[in-house]
Structure formats: C-alpha cells, structure tokens
Amino acid sequence: MNPALPDHAVLITGGARRVGASIVRALHAAGARIAIHHRNSGSEATVLAAELNAQRAGSVIVLQADLLDVAQLPGLVQATLAAFGRLDVLINNASSFYETPVGQITTSQWDDLLGTNLKAPLFLAQAAAPALRASQGLILNIADIHGLRPLKNYPVYSAAKAGLISLTLSLARELAPQVRVNAIAPGPVLFPETGLSDERQADIVNRTLLGRRGTPEDIAQAALFFAAHAPYVTGQVLAVDGGRSVKA
C-alpha cells in the first residue's frame, strides 16, 4: 500500500506529547518526515523521535524553541528546510490552557495565552508561507470548540482560540490559491493534567451527543484527512467533539 504522504515534510509545534504526539505518529505512519517542536518536553520529544527513526532512519528531527519569542520562529522553518529540503505542512498545535476568572486576569496570563494560541501561529505561518507556497502546502491550526462556545472561567483562552479560528479563515484568503489553511476544533478529548475536577470532566462529556470522550487518535485522523485527503478543502474548521458544539 502506497503511503498517503510520501516524503512530505511536516513541522508541528508541541508535538512531543498528548495530542501532538498522536498527530506525529499518524502522519509519520503515512510516510511523512516530521520536525517535532517542543519548549520544555525535550526528553519526551527525544524518545518519540528515536522510536520513529528506528522505523525509518532520518525521518524525524527535534527542534526546541520558546514560541513566545517571535524571533525564534523563522529558525524552526529554516531548520525543517535544512533537514528535509521542503515544507509541506505546518501544524500549529502548541497551546497554553488554564483558568483566568474575571477579576483575577493578569497581563502575563494574557500575553501567554494569546501568545501561544494566536500570536505564534500567525508569525510561524508568516515565516513558513514562502516554503508552503512552493510545495502547494497546508497550514493546520488546532483550535478548540471553546473558540466558538466560550468556556466559563476561561475568557482569555476562549478569546485566543476564537482569534485562531478567525486567523484560519483570514490566512485561507491571504495564502490562496497555493496554500490551504484549515483548523480542527477538538472537544473533550484530553483534559488538562490539572485544574478540572472529575465531576467537571464528567459534566463536559455528558454534554456531547455521543456521550463519551474522544481520543487523541480522533484528532490525529482528522489531521491526516486534511494533510492527505482534502486537496480541495480550505478555510474550514472541523469540530471533532462528539457533537458537543451542536448540543443545546
């Protein structure tokens, strides 16, 4: 069976763990070469890269950068091009997520949440645009259904993801016809490691039409669809949420 992404080069932010790692595995299994970005997850990124390079030598590299430092972002693109000679897919996956109740919001929280979820995707897309134009490539933003339906006590995060959804549509217009730009809006797939009680998690899951949590692999398969099987799709936001976004 021929791979769906033969020798395609993918740069993914926050690709060392959780949903990002699932996306890396799915696209690598489809034949892609992957640049895994991380900020502080170097050990996880190294282990994942070693696992995948054992399957296909030289197919994965690891890159470290603080996405809040915009000056570092062009270097991620340059390192990917140096390793693989091309860039076909940019996946903006890295994200900060935590509560910011009104009355307690700080400017540092604003800068972090808007920086990782909106500012970095914009400036990384801008840096990657020439290479993606050359490859007729794809930008895929990992948004959130709470960019469409704000989550209580998370106004800054919700606003940042709403901005990312709007940025997806704007970039689809700006970079057409050479570059496709789409987004995935996950629902309850992986909850944060801290901050949500079991009761709150159960309530969120019960608000889906399917009545169950999704998996990181659900997001990974949606990413593979956009990367390999949707050449005529751009400017779209796909909710992968078990029907949460349409349930009253």
Residues carrying an active site annotation: 157
- Sole residue written with tokens 């692999």: 217
Give yes or no for a contact between 93 and 19, defined as CB atoms under 8 angstroms apart. Answer: yes
Helix (H) / strand (E) element for 158: namely: helix 155-175
Count, residues in the chain: 248
Give yes or no for a contact between 154 and 111, defined as CB atoms under 8 angstroms apart. Answer: no
Q: Is 3 helix (H, G, I), strand (E, B) or coil?
A: coil
**Structure tokens, 205:** 């899951």
Alpha helices in 4-119 (DSSP H): 18-29, 42-55, 73-84, 107-114
**Structure tokens, 156:** 């800054």
CA diameter of the chain: 56
Q: Alpha carbon 165 to chain centroid distance?
A: 12
Distance CA 136, CA 129 (A): 10
Distance CA 160, CA 179 (A): 23
